[in-house]
Amino acid sequence: MNPRILVPVLVAAYLAVPLAFQSNGYLLGLIVAALTIAGIAVAWALLGNLGGMVSFGHAAFFGVGSYVSAVLTMKAGVPVFAGLLMGGVGAAVASIATMPALRLKGPYFALAILAYAHIFQILAVQLEGVTGGAGGLLSIPRFPSVLGVDFGTKLGGYFVIVTIVILAALAYDAIRRSTWGLALKAMHDSELATRVIGVPSTHLKAVMLVVSAFITGVVGAFNAHFINFLEPDYAFSGSWTVLPIAAAIFGGYRTVWGPVLGALVIYLLDQLLFKEVLPHGHQLVLGALMAGMVLWSPGGLVPVLVRRKGGRAHAHA
């Protein structure tokens, strides 16, 4: 990744935002929520752009990651930060159960993954002895203090989620630039041709699904420990699929930072502006904004910003 982009992002993430908003718990909470959506959006974009698969069921991996981490930390005494990784592993394992859907293409794959999300939600309700059933789990352990930093606060939670999102974006970029990424791009042009020359297309798609599920599971685990409760309708809510898809498309899912920027823009605009102006119809404004972006720039917001920056540089040359 270009250091000219990465360095300002890191400075803004770890210095500017905490300094600006550490005393405003409400805004910091909104930023954490937006970054939670951003983490799923990056995972969704990785699967859609590199794997060539549109998923309507990432809520399945989010919910599984949430419950795995919550249950392990509450009932097995697993440390919270280890629980985050185990949540990602649990979601990755759950994605293996969805792999028969890889034989499907287009909307059929998307709907199959959506069906798995409903299956996992039903399991969470039925396994009452483990998950608490429909009543869910309360008093999920908070993030601990490490080296004098209390990660159980909103500011501490911000540092955790922003680190997860940055690592997810870096992983997305690394895979995109790797030989796997090149093979996946070639596969999009002609899957049959790449199979003829020996590219294991199904295997690569499966790997992208597992990686995407792992990232989503880690984000779900973070959310469980940040809000300290879970119940099936919330953990497997369709919002954990719809909002990340909207964010990824709005920002530009074929770019690394587009899903992150899209999540921050649409969520913060919706909560701070549209919701204040139209308390009961703010989602209509958000939908109109999304439609306008798709019509104006199908590639998303980031390509627009890049073109404007390139145009200014050319004008000053």
| DSSP letter string, 207-236 | HHHHHHHHHHHHHHHHHHHHH-EE-HHHHT
Q: What is the pLDDT of residues 130-149, one digit of tens each?
A: 999 999 999 999 999 998 88
The answer to whether residue 36 is domain-embedded is yes
More confident residue, 157 or 254: 157
CA distances from residue 5 to 62, 118, 127, 226, 256 in whole angstroms, order as listed = 29, 39, 46, 29, 11
Tokens of 144: 């601990």
Tokens of 71: 């249950």
pLDDT band at 317 (very low <50, low <70, confident <90, very high): very low
Query: Which stretch of 132-136, 151-155, 208-212, 304-308 has the lowest confidence by average pLDDT?
Result: 304-308
Query: Which stretch of 26-30, 159-163, 180-184, 266-270 has the lowest confidence by average pLDDT?
Result: 180-184
User: Residue 13: which domain range?
Assistant: 3-237
Q: Say how far apart CA 25 and CA 61 lie, in whole Å.
A: 29
User: Rounded to the nearest 10 degrees, what angle do helices 201-227 and 58-75 cross at?
Assistant: 50
The answer to whether residue 280 is domain-embedded is no
How many domains are there within the chain? Answer: 1
The answer to whether residue 263 is domain-embedded is no
The answer to whether residue 281 is domain-embedded is no
DSSP 8-class letter at 24: -
Tokens of 85: 């990784």
pLDDT higher than threshold 90 for residue 198: no
Residue 43 CA, distance from chain mean position: 5
Q: Say how far apart CA 211 and CA 58 lie, in whole Å.
A: 12
DSSP 8-class letter at 48: I
pLDDT higher than threshold 90 for residue 71: yes
Degrees to nearest 5, angle at CA 298 with 35 and 210? 50
The answer to whether residue 118 is domain-embedded is yes
pLDDT higher than threshold 70 for residue 199: no
Q: Which of 163, 172, 173 is nearest to 1 (CA)?
A: 173
Q: What is the pLDDT of residues 235-270, one digit of tens each?
A: 999 899 989 998 998 898 888 899 999 999 999 988
The answer to whether residue 245 is domain-embedded is no
Share of the chain above pLDDT 90, in %: 51
The answer to whether residue 285 is domain-embedded is no
User: Rounded to the nearest 10 degrees, what angle do helices 58-75 and 80-97 cross at?
Assistant: 140
Mean pLDDT over 108-112 rounds to 86
DSSP output for 92-154: HHHHHHTGGGGGS-THHHHHHHHHHHHHHHHHHHH-HHHH-GGG-EESPPPP-EETTEETTSH
Judged by phi (left if over 0) then psi (alpha if -120 to 50, else beta), residue 195 lies in: alpha
Q: Say how far apart CA 121 and CA 59 lie, in whole Å.
A: 9
Rg (CA), the chain: 20
Q: Which amino acid appears at position 95 of this protein?
A: S
The answer to whether residue 137 is domain-embedded is yes
